[in-house]
Structure 1
């Protein structure tokens, strides 16, 4: 076989094939929905044009063999915000399972937006590039390429992000409630955040008094960390305080955990209590009162020993 007999694929301007988006391309797609199926690995069996969505009209509403609904928005030009908004509006108006956006040139920002939308567990989004091609003098043929589609990985990423956002929200409510307690004067000036701890200075550089909370445990601690290249100094401070461990432990009601953390830079002296931000909210006041009591006992027990530190603080 001579290689000279191999034809060259040529792009054809879309408007030479489909002069009008609604009257030509949409009608053609309705009659050739199997071509879209092949590109997206779907099994759409019906497609109806100009379906109502409130006062708007949807290009195509399709269903697969299970009766699952997909809305299709066509755009024979560069993707734009207007059509993205229409796709989302139509999908929600029809309570559709998926939205398919067919464009001639997907902009990078819309590719990213559709990928982000696919993190939603409630809908699938497809961004499809449409081209027309021919070889030699052959009739023009459609070429549909999926640019963005749903995936298990995207749904899992969305679920993880949702859980993280929910965790941030509940932790902020947890800290807001705690710093508002009358006994939490040491931390009353702290703006509640979303992390698993809030802290204030003990009055000595690098030594902070922290409240900590995870899902089912919480507590109070002195955290010792003077920053970069401070490991030896942190250990010396910890050892100095631990020399008074018996005196400190005796002044505190709950058990105290002395954690030198030899494999890490920092050290801590921690009181751990049962209950955390995943505990029933009606139990929060009781749990947080115990946290405040522990923090106040820890601070008072440490105060005289901290005054004896002579390491340049």
Structure 2
């Protein structure tokens, strides 16, 4: 369950962006199965696995873990939920405030042809008005209190999210927008994001694969070795920026000579961004999952000075 692809599938089902923090985390005399962060809110998410029908013992453990970890989102996964345990989660969602959320999820294994079995998650209990809360998450920040720039950013990314949902591609998932100059979407591996970025001084927006972890330089060069194949699949050239001033790296394509403040032009900008983001996801997702930093030998690579071409 803690594998990145399984957490990605679970997160997409729940409307969360999950990043693994720990497994078998000690909570007093007990050990919690999986502890995650929701990277969109930086809040704790506790996942308790059960391979059979739900029972009282696991319910008690789950509440003990939640209390010990002060987790705000608790996900109980089982092969089958009894009616009394589903009703208990519904009751907990009714009596607690919105800072505590309880999910009950049944898991199935599906196989298509000869492909490996993959989990399918079905929500049997969720917080009250969860779908409404997710779709309206952007309104959690009072736009009246934001500066003009922050209000613009929040509205811009909220509108982009609506376009991504309408297009129905791999990034058609609920994502809470933030009042900042970028939006990041998970690609199924920690330290990588398919991002949309707004660069107002350059009158530019761009789609990018952003790599931010200790092995960012190695991963960047391993991807750069596939430059011809990647750009051929996309049908356009990319900007390859090693960003020598820090550890991060970026692979991107820009839309230039635009004004993010021109709301009348937002449909064109958002259509372009949505298409590029979905294309980036499709081209990079399997490549990113297959990267192995130990396969890169820096002594064989030319010294980078900014953009790599």
TM range (shorter): 0.3 to 0.5
Of structures 1 and 2, the one with the larger relative CO (CA 8 A, separation 6+) is 2
Question: TM-score if structure 2 supplies the norm length?
Answer: 0.44
Question: TM-score if structure 1 supplies the norm length?
Answer: 0.43
